[in-house]
Structure 1
Amino acid sequence: MKKAFSFLGMAILGGALTLGGYKMLFNEQIVVERTVDNPIETVRANYNSSYKSTGAVETSTDFTVAADKTVHAVVHVKNTAIRTQTNRADLYFGRGSGQRQYEQVGTGSGVIISADGYIVTNNHVIDGASALEITLNNKKKYKAELIGRDAANDIALLKINADVDLPYVPFANSDNIKIGEWVLAVGNPYNLTSTVTAGIISAKGRDLEGNNNIESFIQTDAAVNPGNSGGALVNSRGELIGINTAISSKTGSFIGYSFAVPSNIAKKVIDDILEFGAVQEAILGITVDAKYQEEGVKVSDVSNEGGAIKAGLKSGDIITKINNVKISKFSELRGQLTAKRPGESVSITVNRDGVFLVKEVKLSKKVAYTSTSINVILKDVSKSDKSKYNITSGVKIIKNQNKYLIYYGVEEGFIITKINKNPITSAQEASELLDASLGKGKPLYIEGINLKGERERYVFR
């Protein structure tokens, strides 16, 4: 019995010594992890998830249906252009004319928008083409006809004749897209046909530095590379919300952001081409205060003609909405107007000295166009000018701030009848041709009628 108590005493003493030694060697604070039976206190937030289950989340990012609807309606566009190369050595030694013609081939993408073969693409994809070839996703090839184009919005309309109804992508309302919404970019980068990439809408109404025309891009992070131009940007339902146009890159390849012409603008351009043969540009009849940096668009002046003055818009008004679409900056205003036609009425919400007013404005047709390359403003010739000079078409210079042109006798009132030996039918066409020609390393030919009624020809290099 005594031995038992001795062993018990030794065990207790040993335990005490062990515990004391542990406390001497280690920190006195001991952290013990254990399961807590009591629930952790939570704070309820006023948030209802739009997803009911994990399966719903997976369904929202499943693009197989959208891809299947779209991939068969996106085509490969081959642009063959005839170029002329000058060899001064051949000319100097008398070996022919010194010029040699060769074929230059470019590629891009296009989107079938109707079962009978209408295709929308970028203007820069088909620019300068002498022949256009379309390859469908099933490898069938067709010759394409250029129906019309608009360089300002970088949109062109083609047509192919197939024996069967073709798959096509329906248009969606690009005003309804949301930042953060999933999208697909479908095209033919690097001649890799039927390529689909996914991303989100990164921004709307994006204007790009150095871009003198389109100023209302959709920005996305879906991968777009050379060859994707003219391809489709679609929502998760496979509906067309934009035409992929440009990338932001220092290398020529995708590095994070790409840009698309909104579908509302593309559709309006196509409708105008089919109905009028050219784009009908709508304007409010105002000038904008470019120095205004706050939210909205500030009116600096109102034209004596047009819908703005009739509706009661005034200098100093800040435009905040068009038809309930918020306007934060000029690019958004321009994007909304580009998608409208002359004669349409729009509701303009303005902030006038802190009071919000709604004005109904009937949009006017833009009649004067500026060529930024030579700094002139052009207007279609009047019926009286056509009769007076016995011409069927042409454009008149109504403002000339180019001293070089003035020096050589091209003054305000000069009528341009041909550019690069091609007849001119509208001021818009003339401004686009001038901007596309000058500074491209080629001579610019202008034919016209001076203020004395004399016909003159000029060559600018």
Structure 2
Amino acid sequence: VQGADEVTVILSDKRKFKAKVVGTDPETALAAVQVDAHDLVPATLGNSDDVEVGDWVLALGSPFGLKETVTAGIISATGRGNVGIAVYEDFLQTDAAINPGNSGGPLVNLRGEVIGINTAIASRSGGNMGVGFAIPSNMAKRIMEQLMHEGHVDRGYLGVYLQPLTEELARSFGVDPNTKGALIGDVIPGSPAEAAGLKAGDIITRFDGRPVDSADALRHAVANTKAGSKVKVEFLRKGRSQDVFVTLGHRSEASVASSTPQSRRDQAVVEAKLGIAVAALTRERAKSLGYPENTHGVVVTRVTPGGLAQVADIRAGDIIVAVGDTPVDSVESFRQAIEKQDLAKGVRLQLLRDQIRRFVFVQAR
């Protein structure tokens, strides 16, 4: 309905109604529309949390204008994210044929219950290749209820930048490499997370009593929790379990150098080891990169192709602020910190990129 001047709903019995857009949620690509009609039989919503891989499903829609088309398949995967369709993605994946024109149609189980809303396909040809995605019915129901009652979706806001917890990063923080959780790369100043005492490097393992398996899982859990809610957050800090209570904010409000001879030698040592060149982060350089003048660290000026740093996704312009748990504020302190590390075992670096702190793990292989 985005950009539409008028919305028309056509029923299977050929009746047509002008529809009113009650509300939209671009972050999940969903909308609620209302029609003034009688003698309608509502579809039964199923519980998408009960869906399992291998379940048989039917996809209904009007592919290529062919109305009331039904195709069959199975659930190929659940909890599919990082597809690039919407901000919040927790799709059901199916191999039931979905083509242009299927979007918005129901995905139903063999009991006729709607368990998803067909949304998109992954395709190199533009047609069905057996990889289709549907928004789970439980997510759609939550969005629908908020749109109907509030006219918009109110999501909780924690105020952290999250990143996946890899085995290497887990080991570097002194926790079991098989630990499940979400790693905090940075905490936004003035956020609920900062007020509660959460810090960069904390690994969140449970949110409001529910286990956190990944950064995406935590992102969805926070978004699905009402703003203003006080929730318990359990996390690991330096290998030790801790917990805090956080009062979530409103996401909508939140959205809204020259080198000396010695430094050149230091740089040569670092470049040989890591495959990067670094320079002092002067006030002028920090300001030119868009950071406060009192930002501490060293700036990456060059990355050697194929070197350890490039493999770890370190980029020119990144600001390295810590080696392991040791803050760095000069080329010399950075060099000393690196020389104390065993690159065969690996070293964790904390970076600033695009105003956001993040961690990378560098290891000689």
TM-score normalized with structure 1 length: 0.47
2: distance between equivalents of 1:239 and 1:337?
28
SS in 2 for 1:266: helix
Gap change, CA 1:274 and 1:212, over 3 Å in 2: closer
Match of 2:353 in 1: none
1: distance between equivalents of 2:223 and 2:54?
24
Q: Assess if the C-alpha contact under 8 Å between 1:318 and 1:351 holds in 2.
A: yes
Displacement of 1:209: 4.8
2: distance between equivalents of 1:314 and 1:286?
9
Q: Which runs of 5+ in 2 are unaligned?
A: 168-179, 257-287, 291-365
1: distance between equivalents of 2:47 and 2:235?
24
Displacement of 1:354: 4.1
Please tell me whether residue 239 in structure 1 is matched to residue 113 in structure 2: yes
Match of 1:431 in 2: none
Residue number among 136, 144, 148 corresponding to 1:274 in the alignment: 148
TM-superposition CA deviations, 1:204-243 (whole Å, max 9, x none): 3322354462332222222211111011123343333322
Q: Assess if the C-alpha contact under 8 Å between 1:231 and 1:244 holds in 2.
A: yes
Gap change, CA 1:190 and 1:347, over 3 Å in 2: farther
SS in 1 for 2:49: helix
Q: Assess if the C-alpha contact under 8 Å between 1:282 and 1:363 holds in 2.
A: yes
Match of 1:368 in 2: 254
TM-superposition CA deviations, 1:111-142 (whole Å, max 9, x none): xxxxxxxxxxxxxxx22222222111222222
State the aligned residue count.
246
Gap change, CA 1:172 and 1:314, over 3 Å in 2: farther
TM-superposition CA deviations, 1:260-280 (whole Å, max 9, x none): 222233222222222222221
Please tell me whether residue 337 in structure 1 is matched to residue 222 in structure 2: yes
Question: Which amino acid in 2 is paired with 1:142?
Answer: F
Q: Assess if the C-alpha contact under 8 Å between 1:205 and 1:331 holds in 2.
A: no
CA RMSD across the alignment: 3.0
Gap change, CA 1:196 and 1:209, over 3 Å in 2: closer
SS in 1 for 2:70: strand
Q: Assess if the C-alpha contact under 8 Å between 2:9 and 2:18 holds in 1.
A: yes
More moved, 273-282 vs 147-156:
273-282
Match of 1:163 in 2: 38
Please tell me whether residue 319 in structure 1 is matched to residue 194 in structure 2: no
Q: Which runs of 5+ in 1 are unaligned?
A: 1-125, 371-400, 404-461
Please tell me whether residue 197 in structure 1 is matched to residue 71 in structure 2: yes
Gap change, CA 1:343 and 1:317, over 3 Å in 2: same
Q: Assess if the C-alpha contact under 8 Å between 1:215 and 1:334 holds in 2.
A: no
Question: Which amino acid in 1 is paired with 2:166?
Answer: Q
Gap change, CA 1:172 and 1:212, over 3 Å in 2: closer
SS in 2 for 1:256: coil
Residue number among 233, 248, 252 corresponding to 2:126 in the alignment: 252
Please tell me whether residue 147 in structure 1 is matched to residue 28 in structure 2: no
Match of 2:11 in 1: 136
Q: Assess if the C-alpha contact under 8 Å between 2:62 and 2:68 holds in 1.
A: yes
Please tell me whether residue 216 in structure 1 is matched to residue 90 in structure 2: yes
Q: Assess if the C-alpha contact under 8 Å between 2:83 and 2:89 holds in 1.
A: no
Gap change, CA 1:360 and 1:194, over 3 Å in 2: farther
2: distance between equivalents of 1:183 and 1:144?
29
Question: Which amino acid in 1 is paired with 2:68?
Answer: S
TM-score normalized with structure 2 length: 0.59
